[in-house]
Amino acid sequence: MKTAGVASVVQSCRFCTSSAAYSRGAGALWAHKRAKPASAAGRMEDDMGDMDVAGAAGAGRRARGGGGSARRAERTAVSLETARFIQRNIPNFEILNEEALQIIEWNADTVLEEIGVNFVENPEALRRWKDAGADVQGERVRIPRGLARKLCATAPSSFTQHARNPERNVEVGGRNLVLAPVYGPPFVRDIDGGRRYATIHDFQNFVKLGYMSKWLHHSGGTVCEPTDIAVNKRHLDMLHAHMVLSDKPYMGSVTEPSRAEDSVEMSKILFGSDFVDQNTVMTSLININSPLTFDGIMMGALEVYARANQAAIISPFIVGGAMAPVTVAGTLTQVLAEVLAGVAYSQLVRPGAPVIFGAFVTSIDMNSGAPTFGTPEAAHITYGAGQLARRMGLPYRSGGSFCGSKLPDAQAAYETANSLNMALLAGVNFMLHACGWLEGGLVSSYEKFVMDADQLGTLHHLAQGIFMDANGQGMDAIREVGPGGHYLGCAHTQANFKSAFWRSDLLDYKPFETWAEEGSRDTMQLAAERVKKQLADYQQPALDQGIREALDDYVARKKASMPDAFI
């Protein structure tokens, strides 16, 4: 508990029905505050920071050693701290029993063997599958039972994605969870400009916000589509922004195989060719064209990354009732069949290439046809897919700050909270769209980006589990306080108050009078102010000048080598 937070504790004490509880420490502190002029109400939270917790418990003695000023300075100082990726100390939620898992796995193999999958516009993929023992008829590939799973066995169960700042490296797999921002929206929204097409300036702003976000481990990929740049060139500017404006890990381009090749080449400039040849420095999103179709563009990008030993998320794109059955078990069967085929193909290209079992899952509103988010059915599928991924020994990607709302409002908050907590409990290892998602993925929202990024801190703290060491048991505190006492000033509270409770850096916990005096701002207004502050406080991470010039030159030469194209 931060010192400033005592104000809200004391305010609650005011309404306590126990006069004995009120009279001890906290009550004396409130009485001290009530004696101040009314105009001081708006300064209550900072005033509380001028007082030691022990002093609060001891009849409101003031501590004038400058501690409050120092703490206020600490709260307002520019911070570039990035939390380490989450390491879970809580169990995964497993919704399927062994019999159900075996049925789904059997059915998925049946789909691959009897129905098959299409690899379209990709003769080389068809040749690879035929050589591996599949039945290839035209573009339809039927995979004998057990073959896909056997091929998948060479994929690693975890891998390290390196950042240009080694302190930002992430471990994908195991009990870990890596958080990355929204991916793909063509529109952006903010409180001043409303909804509009995204530009490269917006893209750069979101990269900066991601870099400034403590709880975000990864810079992501297409945080929005910069529509003011030609389609065949925008990947160069996007990669350049991730490489220069942030030192967190990033994703490569997948919209055309040559753009994946550019991603590898630019990464070699940033990290060095030998390092890229021997290490994973990119994770990229390969979407399956559900149901059961693998298009030549995405598979071409997968081939580039697999050959280069760079990671790929093999992810079915499921809207239940439209691209998969309406039932949970049926959808899980199709998801598993598609992932088995996609991962197996990556291993045909290069055995041992790092991959992630992906599952983007939503349901559909049967009245409007619109996708829905934060629903129980999506949770069931996400939990079940996590179990299937773990049985394959693969890292798992799913979840995000999903919502269908048009604004960062109550609907967005409910749906996002459901989706984030679902993903944590499902055992997700890589969470794309962890912040900024709005309007079913059509919009990257500035305000929601910082709202979500703030709430990602709750996932970190929830994943810690319950500490059962001597400090966690708190027996010294219980002995010290005894019957009828209070804990504000005891030694255990003094030793732990800064870290005992997670505290939002965005949400408003102030008394009504303070909130009203400061303009009665709602969460969206607070978020808009935080966006502006973070962008104003942004400081570009250091980068070797020679590397920066080489990246600039590569982008300039590639752009000059081709005319603009918007298809």
Distance of CA 142 to the CA centre of its chain: 36
The tokens describing 81, both together, are 């701290």
How many residues does the structure list for the chain? 567
Maximum CA extent, the chain? 86
Query: What's 382's DSSP letter?
Result: H
Helices (H), ranges, 96-159:
98-110, 123-132, 147-152
Q: Which two tokens stand for residue 155?
A: 């994929």
End-to-end CA distance of the chain: 54
Angstrom distance (rounded) from CA 50 to CA 44: 10
Round to whole Å and give the CA distance between 516 and 550. Answer: 53
Peptide bond into 563 cis (omega under 30): no
- CA pair distance 171, 217, nearest whole angstrom: 10
Distance of alpha carbon 390 from alpha carbon 223, whole angstroms = 28
Of 143, 116, 121, 124, which Cα lies nearest the Cα of 132?
143
Unique residue bearing structure tokens 């990035």: 82
pTM of the predicted protein model: 0.87
Residue whose tokens read 């691959």: 112
Please state, in angstroms and rounded to a whole number, the distance separating the CA atoms of residues 410 and 420. 15
What is the b/e burial string over 136-167, where b = at least 16 CB atoms within 10 angstroms of the residue's CB?
beebbbbbeeebbbebbeebbeebbbbbbeee
Residue 82: DSSP 8-state: -
Computed on alpha carbons and rounded to an integer, the radius of gyration of the chain in Å comes to: 26
DSSP-derived 3-state class of residue 491? helix
Q: What is the four-CA torsion angle of 403, 404, 407, 412, rounded to 10 degrees?
A: -30
Selection from 257, 254, 262 nearest residue 283 by Cα: 254
- CA distances in angstroms from 60 to 151, 316, 481, 488, 509, listed in the order given: 69, 60, 18, 12, 22
Half-sphere exposure of 281 (CA within 13 A, CB side): 26
DSSP of 355-370, one letter per residue?
EEEE-EEEEE-TTT--
Phi, psi (degrees; rounded to nearest 5) at 397: -115, 130
Helix (H) or strand (E) holding 345: helix 328-349
How many Å separate Cα 229 from the centre of its chain?
27
DSSP state, residue 282: B
Conformation bin of residue 196: beta by default, left when phi > 0, alpha when psi is -120 to 50: beta
Distance of CA 395 to the CA centre of its chain: 15
Cα distance between residue 286 and residue 112, in whole Å: 19
Helix, strand or coil, per DSSP, at residue 184 = coil
Query: How do the pLDDT tens digits run along the chain, 567 residues long?
Result: 333 333 333 333 322 333 333 333 333 333 333 333 333 333 333 333 333 333 333 333 333 344 555 555 555 555 588 999 999 999 999 999 999 999 999 999 999 999 999 999 999 999 999 999 999 999 999 999 999 999 999 999 999 999 999 999 999 999 999 999 999 999 999 999 999 999 999 999 999 999 999 999 999 999 999 999 999 999 999 999 999 999 999 999 999 999 999 999 999 999 999 999 999 999 999 999 999 999 999 999 999 999 999 999 999 998 888 999 999 999 999 999 999 999 999 999 999 999 999 999 888 888 888 889 999 999 999 999 999 999 999 999 999 999 999 999 999 999 999 999 999 999 999 999 999 999 999 999 999 999 999 999 999 999 999 999 999 999 999 999 999 999 999 999 999 999 999 999 999 999 999 999 999 999 999 999 999 999 999 999 999 999 999 999 999 999 999 999 988
